Amino acid sequence: MPDKAIFISITFILVVLTFFSGLILINTFFGDPTIYLVYAKNIAQGDFFSFNPGEFSSGSTSPLWALILSISFLFDNVNSAFLSKIISCSSTIIALIISFISLLLITKHRIGGIAGTFTIAYFLIIPGIMLYESSLIIILISCLILLFFKIINDKDKSPFSKFIFLTLIFSLIPLTRPDASTIILICFGGLIFHFQKTNQKKYLLFSLISFFISLIPSVLYYGYSYIQLGTFSVSSYCRSFALQENASEFLSIKYSLSSIKYFLISPKIIYVLMAIWGIKKITYFYKDKSLVYFAIISIISYFIILTFISPVTVDSDRYILPVIPFFGLAISIFIKDTFEHTTNKNTIIIFLLIFVIGYPLYTIIPSVFHNRSRGLNFDTIVEKNIIHTINSFAEPNSKILVYEVQDRFYLRPDITLISLDGITDGKVAPYLKSGDMYSFLLKYKPDYWLANDAVNYRPYLKNSVLNKVFNKFVGKRNNSISFGNITIEKIKENEKSNPIGFASYRALFKLNYKNH
């Protein structure tokens, strides 16, 4: 089969897979990324980076992604949630196009480029379509890899524009995925080392200027968060705690092997082997080894972070996304080298069909249909029915304690939502280690509690007063109980079973406080 036909065939399959997945999942939503829509809705109304109206919150993992999604709320008489999914699907397509262009410009090999893009698509398609910031980080890291390569190997051509673009990319990555700032530091260190070694002082200065200017947006945003909330990002802090709760421990060191097992104890080890071969071959095609070091150090650093510093126990595929473009690059080089040094192309075609194309199809298509079958439409995810019920009787300026914080979307503006895991406001953060929810309730005095199964599966809640109330009331006839200065009364119980993979509310409680 001619190379052109192979390229067109792989491209066609990738295009069909992406559009097919987006179409099937267009009305399916997940809980966590739907939180972005609360921020986006407020931004569109001129209330920037707030969760509860008028209250600053750094609970959005990516303030930049929330800003982009706010476009969907600027239009009247449209389904903003549906439009947000259109933006998310479009961003996924754009990310794959940019990934391919980046790989093509580096490898100068169309089949290698599209094969590497298919690898990226395997990790990106579902989270990208489901409103996560995944597409945005893939776009930025792909651009950063290409820019690093061009600055090192073709720096004398339009150097000023390259460093302006570098400044832009450096500044946007921390506002998309704060943890991906590690890759910025590695890239910056690589440039400094290279230009110092080759005694190119002008470009060394450009790199320093780019890096320090790029810090300004992050310093402003995260600095303001620290002043207002006492932490640089309540989202990062509370998610990190949630991850460490279920991590293993050895000699007081928390760790998780999930991200390593994700690759090594599965067919995905083929990706690792191809990537190792591809990284090795980069030095064959390019004399300078800077790109090799950039890729290797980034990948190793990320796995160290996800294993020990912020040990990931769930969703490993999504947390490793910032380094997936490096895997795409390595696999592109592997395919390029194989095509150029193998006479029997039929063997390569079979390999491509089985591992580079077949395995992603085998896993993505069933996953798409499974997620569609769960029945997680937008109104289900934001629990529209119970929220409308609360809106109908809650006193003005009430406070409600909720674990699934995307429920804020339909909540009355005067009602304050307090996050039970602190993901949007950080209020519970000082009580996470002790699990002292009684003191937490006395301090913030929520009027209502929309309870779900989180009290049974989150370790910090298992021995709390909330767990005792939940298991005493839910599914039983008990209606009222007192704990010290707090009286808790069951108002309503959800008799429907939870959708697969979503902890919808089980009961609504009213809380009353003595001397209040």
C-alpha 160/C-alpha 322 separation (Å) is 26
C-alpha 333/C-alpha 295 separation (Å) is 13
Which of the residue ranges 397-401, 453-457, 481-485 would you say has the lowest mean pLDDT? 481-485
| Token duo for residue 481 | 């109980």
**Model confidence at 369: pLDDT above 70:** yes
Secondary structure class of 422 (helix, strand, coil): coil
Taking the CB of residue 186, how many other CB atoms lie within 10 A of it? 21
Cβ atoms of 504 and 494 within 8 Å: the answer is: yes
Rg of the chain, C-alpha, whole Å = 25
**Model confidence at 265: pLDDT above 80:** no
Secondary structure class of 355 (helix, strand, coil): helix
C-alpha 129/C-alpha 133 separation (Å) is 10
pLDDT tier at 256, thresholds 50, 70, 90: confident
- The per-residue pLDDT for 154 is 79
Average pLDDT over residues 71-85: 95
For residue range 436-468, list pLDDT tens digits in order.
999 999 999 999 999 999 999 999 999 999 999
**What are the residues whose beta carbons fall under 8 Å from the beta carbon of 307, sequence distance 6 or more?**
255, 256, 257, 259, 260
The interaxial angle of helices 110-129 and 134-153, nearest 10 deg, is 150
| Token duo for residue 51 | 């969760």
Q: Give the distance from CA 322 to its chain's centroid.
A: 9
Cβ atoms of 98 and 139 within 8 Å: the answer is: yes
pTM of the model: 0.95
C-alpha 331/C-alpha 354 separation (Å) is 14
Average pLDDT over residues 310-326: 88
Reference 418, options 166, 57, 72, 12; nearest CA is 57
Ranges assigned E (strand) in 226-320 = 248-250, 253-255
β-bridge pairing 416-419 and 253-255 = unpaired
Q: DSSP letters of 465-501?
A: HHHHHHHHHTTSS--EEEETTEEEEEEEE--SPPPTT
C-alpha 13/C-alpha 184 separation (Å) is 33
**Model confidence at 99: pLDDT above 70:** yes
Long-range contacts of 8-11 (CB under 8 A, 24+ apart): 10/111, 10/114, 10/115, 10/118, 10/352, 10/356, 10/357, 11/114
Which of the residue ranges 148-152, 268-272, 275-279 would you say has the lowest mean pLDDT? 268-272
pLDDT tier at 306, thresholds 50, 70, 90: confident
Residue holding tokens 């150090």? 297
Long-range contacts of 413-421 (CB under 8 A, 24+ apart): 413/53, 415/390, 415/391, 416/52, 416/55, 417/51, 417/52, 418/444, 418/446, 419/59, 419/238, 420/454, 420/461, 420/466, 421/238, 421/242, 421/454, 421/458
Beta bridge partners of 248: 255
From its phi and psi, is residue 379 left (phi > 0), alpha (psi between -120 and 50) or beta?
Answer: alpha
C-alpha 63/C-alpha 59 separation (Å) is 9
For the chain, give the mean pLDDT: 91
Reference 146, options 205, 179, 91, 187; nearest CA is 187
- The per-residue pLDDT for 186 is 98
